[in-house]
Amino acid sequence: MSLVSPYKGKTGFRRILNALVYSLDGLCAAFRHEDAFRQEVMLALVLVPIALASQTSAIGKALWS
């Protein structure tokens, strides 16, 4: 008896779309259930724009990220 995966035949754009949906579901679940993940997202929303607006070279920004 051979068990065939229902996802085996998905190729091309449909496979990429499925992967995107599953990834977004995982991020939503992490945001709902993980306190540390929520804290990091909130910090990133504040700190990334500050870092991009700072008067530092691109190399400096990349090294200090």
The pLDDT tens digits of the residues spanning 10-46 come to 778 888 999 999 999 999 999 999 999 999 999 999 9
User: Whole-prediction pTM value?
Assistant: 0.62
Q: Whose CA is closest to 26, among 15, 16, 37, 36?
A: 37
Structure tokens at 31: 């945001």
Q: Structural domains in the chain?
A: 12-64 (1.10.287.3610)
Q: Whose CA is closest to 18, among 34, 6, 30?
A: 6
Q: For the chain, what's the residue count? A: 65
